[in-house]
Chain A
Amino acid sequence: MTARDLLPIAVFAAVAALLPVFVTSGTWLNFAVFTLIVTLAAQGWNILGGYGGQYSFGHAAFFGTAAYATALLQVRFGVNPYLAFALGVMAAGLVGWIIGLLSFRSGLRGSYFALVTLAFAEVFRVLANASAFTGGAAGILIPLDVRPGNFQFASRAIFYWVALALVVAALLITRTLERARLGAHLVAVRENEDAARALGVDALAVKLSAIALSAAITGAAGALYAQYFLYLDSNIAYGTWISVEALLGPIVGGAGTAFGPVIGGILLHSLGELARKLLGSVPGLDLALFGVLLILVVRFPPRDIPGLLRRRARR
């Protein structure tokens, strides 16, 4: 990696890190933390969906697994929250690898792969909803005990920095992947899997690495969600909302680019919040406006924001 690769990330990190110094309102920080958590989930999706071209509709499976693992390890087994966080991320990666093994080995691609991931997430949701171990439908509550040693902070700003650090880490991972052999192989598989195999790329191994990494990053978002909101139930952890959020950001911001999910995530959530501020007095109207904007973005090519900027620049 060269300095040119790292500069935008460093600038983004520096600007974003300074934000809580100027903005201290809890409302704002809460919004920012939530946006960063969703962005992180989208960054995970982007590895597999954006670079690998394997569109998953079920990233909730990874988000939820890490969230539940983090919460359950703490609540049921008294594991240190930081360790639980790390184990949760690993659990998500493992689940990703297993789902990948099952579906990629069977040669599932395109919409078939998307449907299988959707089904996995649904199965997990139903299981988590039914099992007493996960708290069933009543969900699971991480006890409020605000101590830094407990991964709970009195100030929302610290949580913001933690979330930001993870987003920046994911940016660095993505950038490294772009420049690494694995990234090149992944793009080759996306563009033409048969051609890539003919050239000696082990497509299965490449896709498995990608899904494990992708799942781990989205899992980090889930674990962070659990640690921030301290409450989970099966619809939050494995609900379709996060699967959709995870793919919406990259699609709007630019799938297969390092900054795509970040731009898309921040833009979409800011738009949602803005619509809410403008039209908040009539419940639901802001959601309608948000929907219209989304349709416009997806309808008119180039589909994503960076594409639009490039086209403007060419003129």
Chain B
Amino acid sequence: MSQVFSPSRRALLLGAAGILAAPGLSRAQAAPVKLGILQPVTGALAQDGEYGRLGAELAINEINSTGGIKALGGAQIQMVFGDARSTPEGGTAEVERMNSEGVVAVVGGFASPICLAASQAAARYDLPYIVDVGVADAIVTRGLRNTFRFSPGFGSVTRAALDNLATLNNNAGRPARTVVVVHEDGLFGSGMAQLMQRELPSRGFEVVETISHPTPARDMSNIALRIRSLNPDLIIPSSYYAEFVLLARTLQQRRIRPKGIYCVLNGAASNFRFVREFPDAANLVMDVNHWADPRKPKTAELRRAVEAQNRFWLYNTPINYSAVMLVADALERAGKADRTAVTEALTKTDGSFTRHIMPYGPTRFENGQNMAAQAVNTQVQNNDIKVIFPTDFADAQPVFPWPA
């Protein structure tokens, strides 16, 4: 075979030089578009970061294998990955590097502090920044023109959580009246606990106690005993993964069975790792969280691809997949790999953007926030995580109150 076509080294060099010297020709091949993917893949948030990166990779592979960015002559997307190291300054440093490598936009961040710092660093260069998960409301209220969030913020998630809880309870004939809030003493937990105490009474619930615990916490026995003595109808936990798993297992071991466990933005309740490892403790736990739209065929396809890699199906993956698709959509409409044009196009995103797999209505950005973004209620049923609310997107009926 080698005799059929074997150019001399000189001919090859000449050819290479010719390609370099003829930019007009090489442009016909469409220069790849660089896209920054920022995730914390070392440090405390490494698990989330890995799943976020996976989502971005899947989206980029899909775009590239289906003809690239058509408006740019089929340009391929080239990922410039940055490890945010679970710290804001780590994120900032990576945005600086991505900027020097000439990315057209940055997607990711995961944690709110990283998103806040990294988007600010990107703003210096008018570099579009698409937040994946970070829920802090401050992210989109700073007036940064470059910052977009496709997923919902804290305010919108908690509002939905409270309203849906009231609806759920009313539909079931108001079985739950008393509530115990268990929360970690950090960002999510404390804020959430205050909100619950303020908002739940007007929705017909009585908060009998709020119990806080540090992160990490290695023993939940005292909290479980306290819950047993208070005997609430509903437990609302707001903790990270390990602590909630511990709480759920402790409750199960001590046979403490309320009428429901209703989580908000919980680290574990919408996590297949928890469902697989502790199916009994996880059974029927409800959560309000980011989740992919179960009715879209693409969701099932992506989930199979993820599970084929022996990985769990976490929300980070579909969110990052969708955020990368959002950039691709903006590139198509901008018609050029130019930061200002992409920012402009992102601002004008509308319902015609359908390549995402989140359970959101027609996309509409207001001050960088996707107003159609919403969290959904999930419940662990038969070792699967089902969407039970809102009904438009649901693939299962809620089981509430829990059968005795």
A: residues with CB less than 8 A from B are 25-27, 29-31, 34, 126, 129-130, 136-139, 141, 143-144, 146, 154, 229-231, 233, 236, 241, 280, 283-284, 287
Contact = CB atoms under 8 A, between A and B. Distances in A.
A126 B42 CA distance: 25
Interface of B: 41-42, 46, 83, 87-89, 92-93, 96-97, 99-100, 112-113, 116-117, 120-121, 123-125, 136, 138, 142, 144, 185-191
Given A144-B123, A229-B117, A30 B83 contact: no
B127 to A, nearest CB: 11
A231 B93 contact: no
A51 to B, nearest CB: 29
A299 B168 CA distance: 62
A27 B93 contact: yes
**Chain B binding surface, main DSSP class:** helix
Contacts of B41: 283-284
A229 B144 contact: no
Contacts of A229: 88-89, 92, 117, 120
B186 A236 contact: no
A138 B138 contact: yes
Given A138-B136, A144-B144, A287-B42, A129 B89 contact: no
9 contacts: A26-B125, A30-B92, A34-B89, A129-B185, A137-B186, A137-B188, A138-B112, A144-B120, A229-B92
Nearest to A230: B120
Contacts of B83: 280, 283
A197 to B, nearest CB: 41
A154 B99 CA distance: 15
A53 to B, nearest CB: 31
Contacts of A126: 185
Given A137-B191, A141-B116, A231-B116, A27 B96 contact: yes
A236 B185 CA distance: 16
Contacts of B92: 30, 229
Contacts of B46: 283-284
Contacts of B190: 129-130, 136-137
B42 A236 contact: no
Given A137-B186, A137-B190, A137-B191, A26 B100 contact: yes
Contacts of A137: 185-191
Contact of B113 (A144, A154, A231): A231
A139 B93 contact: no
A145 to B, nearest CB: 10
B112 to A, nearest CB: 8
7 pairs of A and B residues whose beta carbons are closest in the complex: A137-B187, A283-B41, A27-B96, A30-B96, A27-B97, A26-B96, A137-B186
Contacts of B185: 126, 129-130, 137
A222 to B, nearest CB: 13
Contacts of A231: 88, 113, 116-117, 120
Given A136-B190, A136-B191, A283-B41, A30 B93 contact: yes
A143 B89 contact: no
Contacts of B112: 138
B113 A284 contact: no
Contacts of A30: 92-93, 96, 121
Given A27-B100, A283-B41, A283-B83, A139 B123 contact: no
Nearest to A146: B124
Given A26-B100, A231-B113, 15 more contacts: A27-B97, A27-B99, A29-B96, A31-B93, A34-B93, A129-B186, A137-B188, A138-B112, A143-B142, A154-B124, A230-B117, A231-B117, A236-B87, A283-B41, A283-B42
A183 B202 CA distance: 64
A284 B121 CA distance: 24
Choose among A143, A231, A284 the residue with the greatest number of B CB atoms under 10 Å from its CB: A231
A25 B102 CA distance: 12
Contact of B191 (A138, A154, A230): A138
A271 B158 CA distance: 44
Contacts of B96: 26-27, 29-30
Contacts of B138: 138, 141
Choose among A34, A137, A233 the residue with the greatest number of B CB atoms under 10 Å from its CB: A137
A139 B188 CA distance: 12
Contacts of B125: 26
A141 B93 CA distance: 18
